[in-house]
């Protein structure tokens, strides 16, 4: 028996191929929503990015329709799809969907229950609304880079993940859409959501921003316990050249760590600024006496807040993650079988071990337009004109 997921029965039309909007629809899809990717026919597509086949979970559970929205018949066909949709996600420059005649007001006139989510770097309003940008730009504007560690030349490092796209954008949009879906049960009305990735970065940076606004302090690398001020929250290299992550913030955890390392004398000085170099050096020297896995076996289960700092190739072989069904198999019509990250967020289908994923060269255009009420002859006419594909 198939698992009933929270968003079963919800239909999402998604204009994106990459970025925060695609991360958002991936989340909604893993909660059971039907995701319909809306793109332009090949000769109308311009420079639209096509990600590698494995990206965004290889499009598992998604459908695809190609429509020329600049053609009157194409716009009308899209609006027929939108009439029966629950959510639309778009990531064009501000104002573009309105000019095309497929914006929130256009859709709402036909479907008052629609939840229309615009994702952009800086929002639909404000002096920066039309700026182009990517992950690093939003992290820079939102202060994330300024509070990260430093490179050898003193500059902020590049993050190891697209934090802005995934959390500040994709998760931000998904959370807003889920709230709007819940609210619709009360009001029976949809809503418009202006999701700015830069706003999402501000939310992620709230601890540092609120500290500055309340005290005037300038947060940055080494200014507090979360940005490297104290040796109890840092990374340390082991004898085999691998790394440990140490997060012994609470005094009890720090005491446990020091006891396990034979460094009990350091316990009273956990937050003594004058002793941090001494503590850090003692930790560095001690951790270099054993290989990483020896330290994990010794420390991880003893309330010390010590874990391995994995590479990606290491984490996909971790037994704990495997026991929680983090990785699944996917079968692609042309690429064959490969592994991918499963539905790991709480409430998804964690027990599912295998997915069939679609070939991006194949569309569901005819079936989707037919289900929206278009006649076969009309669909065939638009296909002949290059309006759909």
In the three-class reduction of DSSP (H, G, I as helix; E, B as strand; rest coil), residue 329 is classed as: strand
End-to-end CA distance of the chain: 35
Tell me which DSSP letter residue 156 carries.
P
Active site residue 153: no
Which of 152-163 are b and which e, b meaning 16 or more Cβ less than 10 Å from the residue's Cβ?
eeeebeeeeebb
State the DSSP H helix or E strand holding residue 307, giving kind and residue range, or none if neither.
Answer: strand 306-308
Residue that is written with structure tokens 């991918």 in the block: 340
The active-site residue out of 8, 105, 134, 272 is 134
Tokens, residue 45: 């597509």
Check if 172 is active-site.
no
Which residue among 68, 165, 234, 349 is the active-site one?
Answer: 165
Neighbours of 181 (CB within 10 A): 20
Reference 226, options 198, 203, 245, 199; nearest CA is: 245
Report H helices in the chain.
19-30, 72-83, 96-100, 104-108, 135-141, 163, 172-187, 197-204, 206-215, 251-261, 276-287, 292-299, 312-315, 319-323, 365-371, 376-384
Give helix then strand counts, H and E, for the chain: 16, 12
Active site members:
134, 165
């Amino acid at each position: 028996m198939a698992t009933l997921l929270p968003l079963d029965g919800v239909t999402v039309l998604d204009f994106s191929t990459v970025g925060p909007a695609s991360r958002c629809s991936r989340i909604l899809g893993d909660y059971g929503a039907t995701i319909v990717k809306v793109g332009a026919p090949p000769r109308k597509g311009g420079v639209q990015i096509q990600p590698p086949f494995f990206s965004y979970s290889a499009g598992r559970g998604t459908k695809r329709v190609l429509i020329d929205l600049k053609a009157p018949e194409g716009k009308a066909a899209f609006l027929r799809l939108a009439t029966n949709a629950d959510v639309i996600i778009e990531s064009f420059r501000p104002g573009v969907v309105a000019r095309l005649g497929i914006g929130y007001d256009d859709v709402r006139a036909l479907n008052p229950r629609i939840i229309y989510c615009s994702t952009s770097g800086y929002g639909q309003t404000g002096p920066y609304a039309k700026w182009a940008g990517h992950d690093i730009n939003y992290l820079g504007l939102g202060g994330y880079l300024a509070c990260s560690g430093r490179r050898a030349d003193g500059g902020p490092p590049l993050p190891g993940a697209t934090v802005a796209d995934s959390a500040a954008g994709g998760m931000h949009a998904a959370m807003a859409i889920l709230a709007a879906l819940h609210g619709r049960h009360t009001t029976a009305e949809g809503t418009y959501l202006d999701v700015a990735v830069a706003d999402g970065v501000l939310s992620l940076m709230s601890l540092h921003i609120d500290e500055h606004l309340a005290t005037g302090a300038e947060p940055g690398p080494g200014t507090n316990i979360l940005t490297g001020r104290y040796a109890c929250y840092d990374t340390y290299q082991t004898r085999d050249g691998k790394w440990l992550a140490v997060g012994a913030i609470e005094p009890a955890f720090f005491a446990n760590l020091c006891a396990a390392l034979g460094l009990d004398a350091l316990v009273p000085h956990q937050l003594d600024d004058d002793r941090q170099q001494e503590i850090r050096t003692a930790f560095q020297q001690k951790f270099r006496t054993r290989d990483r896995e020896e330290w994990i076996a010794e420390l991880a289960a003893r309330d010390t807040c010590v874990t391995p700092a994995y590479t990606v190739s290491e984490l996909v072989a971790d037994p704990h993650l495997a026991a929680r069904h983090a990785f699944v198999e996917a079968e692609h019509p042309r690429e064959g079988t490969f592994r991918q990250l499963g539905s790991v967020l709480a409430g998804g289908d964690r027990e599912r071990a295998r997915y069939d994923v679609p070939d991006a060269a194949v569309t569901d255009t005819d079936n989707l337009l037919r289900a929206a009420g278009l006649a076969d002859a009309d669909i065939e006419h638009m296909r002949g004109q290059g309006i759909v594909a």
